[in-house]
Structure 1
Amino acid sequence: MTEDRSILSREAGEPDDQLRYGADADQVIDVWHAKEYRPAVVFVHGGFWRPDYDRTHARPLAEALAAEGWPVASLEYRRVPGQPDITTSDIREALDRLPGLMDLHAGYVLVGHSAGGHLALWAAATLNPVQLRGVVALAPVANLLLADQLMLDDGAVQAFIGSGVRNDLDPTHLPAPIAPVALIHGTRDQRVPLSLSESYFIAHPTARLDRLAGVGHYELIDPESEAWHTVTNEITRLTGHHD
């Protein structure tokens, strides 16, 4: 079985707005408005922290969530190999600035996929944003040490952190976030093995772990997949919205 990567290049509409939280070209946030007054979804894209992957592949996901009634903010961030603190400072700055840039009075859920799941878990553990209702981590790189040992994506962790070990950036080795955490991970994920989420869950048993049988890595961000229902159900649970 090979991973279906079609979602990475699927066409989607442009965002309704683009907000800026810094001067760099990558310090931007794509925003989709929703007709309902609900907590927002703040999305952090993946791509193993590499400059090759930006937020555009998350547009079908953002469009689908907005169509279902959630306002969506999709964060871009700088991805400079060997300089992880630039990436994490951008996530911090974006989350700090966001309440002044869009209406977040109903709070928000932080959703991240793959490396974006790592950044969402890191942010929840270290920043504890006031309006954060919860985290939904989709196939997250939730354990940097284990991901490094497994040499995921040809040494992506060392390419990200530069060298050595950064437990201060490692969700499994950080304290559990105060906000509720849900991890969703497919059993057939060939990019980020389920064992990374399982190790996070062992370290932080207050989290919730949904193991999706037969599901791969990219189905979790594909609104046309069956796994999508699990994603929207978790967001619904954390935002308290029920149709």
Structure 2
Amino acid sequence: MPTPAYDAQIKYGTEASQFGELRLPAGKGKFPVVVVVHGGCWLSAYNLQYMSHVSEALRKAGYATWNIEFRRVGETGGGWPGTFQDVAAGTDYLRELAKKYPLDLDRVAVIGHSAGGHLALWLAARTNLKQSSPLYSADPLPINGVVTLAGITDLKTYSEAEGSCNSAVEKLIGGSATQFPERYAEASPIELLPLQTPVRLVQGAKDPIVPVSQAESFATKAGNSAEVILLDQAGHFELVAPQSEGWPKIKKALDKLLN
């Protein structure tokens, strides 16, 4: 399946991976905006391209989409703290885009898959960071809601399990939770609760990469701000396939956050 075209590829920084793809619906706007954050275990081997079909489906549904790239583990500046700083800067750059494009910054949501689901949650949680943190932003763009698709919510717990993506957590953070407890506290969404932003955690019951417990434990601790949407027949990648049976539930969750 060919990659859907975007309206503009725009740099939000000077590094090669600091850019995003903007897609705009038909019409004059202003359009609600969905920031799209790709997964791939935070590794440079994976990029934003596979989220282009999600971005296009949301564009057709009336949302402007901003599919962001960022420095990842394996490239200069990726990992701690650059990956987080880039995702934050890319999201906040919507303020600049809104000067040129018809974007409604009063209606902004973030959707992320897998490791990108972790980063999507972190974007909502970063308002709880202390000013002394290297991940701190003085004026984060307000977010109306987050939809995670098989999102990793607890870096410490996830890193302790077996799996190739699990082992990437220490590469992202620079070491283990024992070595860098303060980094895990600033990077792991479950440690940055409570959130002021509503969260919908979409999870495939048959996911072999991110267990359902990641969503359930976060929702239990977050309380009323979070809801788990369990797709009984889905694995890991069906969640980013707009033709899948579960996609209408994902879109419905997003619609409720922005409309």
TM-score by length of 2: 0.85
Measure the CA separation in 1 of the matches of 2:124 and 2:62: 24
Measure the CA separation in 1 of the matches of 2:48 and 2:157: 26
The structural deviation recorded for 1:80 is 2.5
The structural deviation recorded for 1:230 is 1.0
State whether residues 143 and 197 of structure 1, in contact with CA within 8 Å, keep that contact through their aligned partners in structure 2: no
Aligned counterpart, 2:156:
145
The structural deviation recorded for 1:198 is 1.1
Measured against aligned partners, the alpha-carbon deviations of 1:165-205 in whole angstroms (never above 9, x if no partner) come to: 21211111112221111110010001111111111112112
The one of 203, 210, 215 equivalent to 1:185 is 203
The letter for the 2-side match of 1:90 is D
Determine if the alignment matches structure 1 residue 46 to structure 2 residue 39.
Answer: yes
Determine if the alignment matches structure 1 residue 77 to structure 2 residue 70.
Answer: yes
Measured against aligned partners, the alpha-carbon deviations of 1:55-88 in whole angstroms (never above 9, x if no partner) come to: 0111111111111111110010000347321100
What does residue range 217-236 of structure 1 map to in structure 2 within 5 Å? 217-236=236-255
User: Unmatched 5+ residue regions in structure 1?
Assistant: 1-9
The letter for the 2-side match of 1:173 is E
Aligned counterpart, 1:25:
16
State whether residues 192 and 217 of structure 1, in contact with CA within 8 Å, keep that contact through their aligned partners in structure 2: yes
Q: Helix, strand or coil for the counterpart of 2:67?
A: strand
What does residue range 93-104 of structure 1 map to in structure 2 within 5 Å? 93-102=89-98, 103-104=103-104
Runs of 4+ in 1 over 4 A off after TM superposition: none
Higher mean Cα deviation, 224-233 or 35-44? 35-44
Aligned counterpart, 1:158:
170
Say what the alpha-carbon RMSD is for the aligned residues.
1.6
Aligned counterpart, 1:213:
232
Higher mean Cα deviation, 24-33 or 167-176? 167-176
Aligned counterpart, 1:11:
2
The structural deviation recorded for 1:20 is 0.9
Paired residues in the alignment total: 231
User: Unmatched 5+ residue regions in structure 2?
Assistant: 129-139, 178-183
State whether residues 108 and 239 of structure 1, in contact with CA within 8 Å, keep that contact through their aligned partners in structure 2: yes
Higher mean Cα deviation, 29-38 or 220-229? 29-38
Aligned counterpart, 2:57:
64
TM-score by length of 1: 0.90
Measure the CA separation in 1 of the matches of 2:229 and 2:105: 29
The one of 198, 206, 219 equivalent to 2:216 is 198
State whether residues 92 and 141 of structure 2, in contact with CA within 8 Å, keep that contact through their aligned partners in structure 1: no
Q: Helix, strand or coil for the counterpart of 1:136?
A: strand
